[in-house]
Amino acid sequence: MGEFALIAQYFKRPVQRAVLGVGDDCALLAPRPGMQLAISTDMLVQGRHFFADVDPRTLGHKALAVNLSDLAATGAQPLAFSLALALPSVDAPWLQGFSEGMFALADAHGCELVGGDTTQGPLNICITVFGEVPAGQALLRSGAQPGDDIYVSGHLGDARLALEALLGHIYLPPAALAAARQRLESPSPRVALGTALRGIASSALDLSDGLVGDLGHILQASAVGAELQADEVIARMAATAGGPGVALSLPRDLQLQCCLAGGDDYELCFTAAAHQRDAVQQASRAAQTPVHCVGRITAEPGLRVVDAQGQAMAQRWASFDHFSA
């Protein structure tokens, strides 16, 4: 099968909202009046972001999910995406699975594939997403204010826990591994929550590299500091890794590392003023996505992780850095 037959078979579908889709030199999009385009690109490289033997269906899902997660963090509604793909060879079952996994998530978010590039080479997947957000309403990293609550959506740490188990560093019972692995391989981009938080959140980003590092970007962009409640963060891990019993029996250091410096969570971290607490819970219910307050923005710069007694946990930082390196 040649390059163009491959594109026609696996990636060309009738246009939905776009003016022009796959097949010409450029695609054409028509954002609605008063909307701004939100654009983001994420690349997935074999050996770096996924194992060579990963199920192509979940890989197709994840390649798009990590991009939709950026739109979610901006409060943008997905419109379309492009796909640049390097493939070692034309592997029909792989392409079938990959495109099915990708389009299932695309259809769930009304996001259509409008173009891309296909070349031979080591497996590499690069997606660019386009979304729209009412002018001036995008959620940015730069709006956090002292006194704001810090929230995270869903669950943290499970993806990293799965990775540690798959690498053979720790043992997880099969049911727990399956649940954690699902979180690693099939993250759910929090698009509904992101759009529901417009006008409510003061800042937001999505968690791809671990809470501590990613929250640091908000602190830097907003010129503020933060206090994170370690136990509130750990509590967000329990639900998916085979049930609270399993997660809570893990060593505390491992829980902390997975939740604070784990990465691959694809949850939202956002801040909101105290007077928005009811509005945040309403947005959470409307989006059917749980959110939890895990800390507070401070005027004093720097990030302090504190235990249940309010004591700073400075001695643990070196291991987080080592772990995430």
Q: Is 208 annotated as a binding residue?
A: yes
Distance CA 88, CA 208 (A): 27
If one asks whether residue 186 binds ligand ADP (CB under 6 A), the answer comes out as: no
Phi-psi region of 115 (alpha: psi -120 to 50; beta: other; left: phi over 0): left
Q: Is 40 annotated as a binding residue?
A: yes
In which residue are the tokens 């869903």 written? 154
Output the CA–CA distances (angstroms, integers) from residue 57 to 97, 100, 142, in the order listed. Answer: 5, 6, 36
Candidates 18, 38, 73, 85; binder of ligand ADP (CB under 6 A) is 85
Strand order in the sheet with 291-298: 203-206, 268-272, 149-153, 291-298, 225-229, 302-306
Question: 21-50: which residues touch ligand ADP (CB under 6 A)?
Answer: 22-25
Q: Closest-CB residue for Mg ion?
A: 117
Q: Is 149 annotated as a binding residue?
A: no
If one asks whether residue 113 binds ligand ADP (CB under 6 A), the answer comes out as: yes
Closest to 204 in 3D by CA, of 225, 222, 223, 227: 222
| Nearer to ligand ADP among residue 116 and residue 225 (C-beta) | 116
Q: Which region, judged by CB under 6 A, interacts with ligand ADP, from 44-52, 110-118, 218-226, 266-274?
A: 110-118
Site residues, Mg ion (CB under 5 A): 117
- 30, with CB counted inside 10 A (0-12, 13-18, 19+), is exposed
Candidates 29, 35, 49, 116; binder of ligand ADP (CB under 6 A) is 116
If one asks whether residue 278 binds ligand ADP (CB under 6 A), the answer comes out as: no
If one asks whether residue 161 binds ligand ADP (CB under 6 A), the answer comes out as: no
Distance CA 325, CA 320 (A): 8
Contact 59, 94 (CB under 8 A): no
In which residue are the tokens 């649940």 written? 179
| Nearer to ligand ADP among residue 112 and residue 264 (C-beta) | 112
Q: Which region, judged by CB under 6 A, interacts with ligand ADP, from 112-120, 176-184, 254-262, 288-296?
A: 112-120
Output the CA–CA distances (angstroms, integers) from residue 124 to 85, 112, 238, in the order listed. Answer: 6, 20, 33
If one asks whether residue 115 binds ligand ADP (CB under 6 A), the answer comes out as: yes
Distance CA 229, CA 150 (A): 10
Candidates 64, 71, 72, 83; binder of ligand ADP (CB under 6 A) is 83
253 makes contact, choosing from ligand ADP, Mg ion, none, with CB < 5 to 8 Å by partner type, with none
- Beta carbon of residue 117, minimum distance to Mg ion (angstroms, whole number): 4
Distance CA 146, CA 152 (A): 17
Q: Is 41 annotated as a binding residue?
A: yes
Tokens representing 5? 């037959």
Binding residues for substrate: 49, 264, 320
Binding residues: 25, 40-42, 49, 70, 116-117, 141, 206, 208-209, 264, 320
Task: Give the binding site for ligand ADP (CB under 6 A).
Answer: 7, 11, 22-25, 83, 85, 113, 115-118
